[in-house]
C-alpha cells in the first residue's frame, strides 16, 4: 500500500489543483503520534526504558478507529515507503489502551534484535541519539492508512527524557473553545485560531503548530513561535467558516522539535 501511495503522490504532483489541502480532514487521517515519555533514555543503574505510543487518528465519518503499531527492524531516519512494518520488517507492539501501544526495550524480542545490531556503528551514536522507527496501520471501517513515526534512543548524557509540551486551549475568535462543547460561529466569518500552551520547561525550545479542520478554510497549515532569526512570532492562523450551517471539528498539534508532541480537539457549530 505504501508503494501505491508513493506512486499516486508522484502522479498527482503535476496536478496540484486536484489535491485537497493538508489542513482539511475529510477521511481517515493520522495527524500525529506522541510518545510518553518522548524519548527512550538509557540508565546504567535502572531497567531498560519504555514508552507508550499514542496516535491522533481520526475519521470524520464517525467509524471506530483502531491502530496497530510495530517497531521496525530497520534503523535509519527515512524508511522506504514500502517497508513492511507492521509486517515482516516489524515487531508488533502490545496494545496499551485506545489507539496506543507499549514500546518496552526490555521485551525479549527487542533484546534479541538489539543483540544482532552492529555495536560498532550504534554505540558511538547513542550519546547524540538514534531514531527508532515505528510503523503503524490505522483502520476505520473499510478504510486503512499506514505510515511511520520515530522515537529517539539515547544515553543520559544530556539529562532526563524530554517532556512533552502541553496545549491548554484554543481561542477561536475572541472565545476560548470549551473542551467537550461547541462554540457558535456565523457562516462565512473569518476568525483567528490561537493555540494556548503551558509555559515551556526550556525557553530555548521552538514550538511548531499544525492546524486541521473538517470544513472551512485555514489560511496556513502551520505556524511557529520563533522565526529563523530567533525572534518571537505570532502562532495564530485564520479560519474562514463554511457558507452553510454544520458542526466543524478542529485539531491542533504542537511539536517542540525534540520529539515532544501534544494535541487537542475542539468543535464549533456554524449557523
Which of 2.60.40.1940, 2.60.120.10, 3.90.1150.10, 2.40.50.140 is the CATH number of 21-158? 2.60.40.1940
Q: Is the pLDDT of residue 4 over 50?
A: no
CA 84 and chain centroid, separation: 20
pTM strictly above 0.85? yes
CB atoms within 10 A of CB 118: 8
CA-CA distances (angstroms) from residue 234 to 42, 251, 259?
37, 18, 22
Domain ranges of the chain: 21-158, 167-270
Full DSSP string of 228-267: TTS-B----EEEE--SS-EEEEEEEEEE-SSS-EEEEEEE
pLDDT exceeds cutoff 60 at 146: yes
3-state secondary structure (DSSP) of residue 11 = helix
Is the model more confident about 246 or about 80? 246
Per-residue pLDDT of 33-49, as tens digits, reads 999 999 999 988 889 99
Residue burial 247-267, b: 16+ Cβ < 10 Å; e: rest: ebbbbbbbbbebbbbbbbbbb
pLDDT, mean of residues 215-244: 96
Share of the chain above pLDDT 90, in %: 78
pLDDT tens for 84-108 read 999 999 999 999 999 999 999 999 9
pLDDT at 268: 97
When the pLDDT of each residue in the chain is averaged and rounded to a whole number, the result is 90
pLDDT average, residue stretch 167-185: 94
Q: Are 168 and 196 spatial neighbours (Cβ–Cβ below 8 Å)?
A: yes
Write down the CATH superfamily of domain 167-270: Immunoglobulins (2.60.40.10)
In angstroms, the CA 85 to CA 146 distance is 9
DSSP E strands, 73-218: 90-92, 100-104, 130-140, 143-155, 167-172, 175-176, 182-185, 190-197, 208-213, 217-218
Write 220-226 long-range contacts (CB < 8 A, 24+): 220/23, 221/21, 221/22, 221/23
- What pLDDT, on the 0 to 100 scale, is given for residue 182? 86
The predicted-structure confidence for 52-91, as pLDDT tens digits, reads as follows 999 999 999 999 999 999 999 987 667 888 999 999 999 9
Task: Judge if 21-158 and 167-270 fold alike in CATH terms.
Answer: yes
Residue 131 — pLDDT band, cuts 50, 70, 90?
very high
Q: 5-9, 27-31, 80-84, 187-191: which has the minimum mean pLDDT?
A: 5-9
The pLDDT assigned to 120 comes to 53
- Average of pLDDT values for 125-143? 92
Predicted local confidence at residue 118, as pLDDT: 59
Query: Environment class of residue 24 by beta-carbon count within 10 Å: exposed (0-12), middle (13-18) or buried (19+)?
Result: middle
39-42 and 143-155: which strand pairing? parallel
Please tell me the predicted confidence (pLDDT) of residue 47: 93
Q: How confident is the model at residue 181 (pLDDT cuts 50, 70, 90)?
A: confident
Amino acid at each position: 500500500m505504501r508503494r501505491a501511495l508513493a506512486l499516486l503522490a508522484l502522479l498527482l504532483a503535476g496536478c496540484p489543483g486536484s489535491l485537497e489541502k493538508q489542513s482539511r480532514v475529510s477521511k481517515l487521517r493520522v495527524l500525529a503520534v506522541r510518545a510518553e515519555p518522548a524519548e527512550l533514555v538509557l540508565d546504567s543503574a535502572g531497567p531498560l526504558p519504555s514508552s507508550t505510543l499514542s496516535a491522533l487518528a481520526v475519521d470524520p465519518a464517525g467509524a471506530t478507529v483502531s491502530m496497530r503499531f510495530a517497531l521496525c527492524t530497520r534503523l535509519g531516519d527515512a524508511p522506504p515507503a514500502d517497508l513492511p512494518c507492521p509486517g515482516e520488517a516489524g515487531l508488533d507492539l502490545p496494545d496499551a489502551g485506545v489507539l496506543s501501544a507499549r514500546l518496552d526495550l526490555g521485551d525479549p524480542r527487542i533484546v534479541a534484535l538489539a543483540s544482532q545490531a552492529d555495536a560498532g556503528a550504534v554505540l558511538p551514536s547513542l550519546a547524540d541519539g538514534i531514531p527508532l522507527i515505528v510503523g503503524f496501520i490505522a483502520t476505520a471501517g473499510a478504510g486503512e492508512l499506514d505510515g511511520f513515526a520515530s522515537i529517539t534512543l539515547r544515553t543520559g548524557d544530556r539529562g532526563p527524557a524530554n517532556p512533552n509540551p502541553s496545549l491548554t486551549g484554543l481561542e477561536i475568535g475572541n472565545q476560548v473553545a470549551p473542551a467537550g462543547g461547541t462554540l457558535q460561529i456565523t457562516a462565512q466569518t473569518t476568525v483567528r485560531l490561537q493555540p494556548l500552551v503551558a509555559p515551556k520547561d526550556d525557553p530555548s525550545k521552538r514550538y511548531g503548530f499544525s492546524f486541521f479542520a473538517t470544513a472551512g478554510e485555514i489560511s496556513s497549515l502551520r505556524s511557529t513561535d520563533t522565526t529563523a532569526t530567533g525572534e518571537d512570532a505570532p502562532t495564530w492562523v485564520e479560519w474562514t467558516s463554511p457558507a452553510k450551517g454544520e458542526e466543524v471539528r478542529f485539531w491542533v498539534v504542537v511539536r517542540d522539535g525534540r520529539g515532544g508532541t501534544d494535541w487537542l480537539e475542539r468543535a464549533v457549530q456554524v449557523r
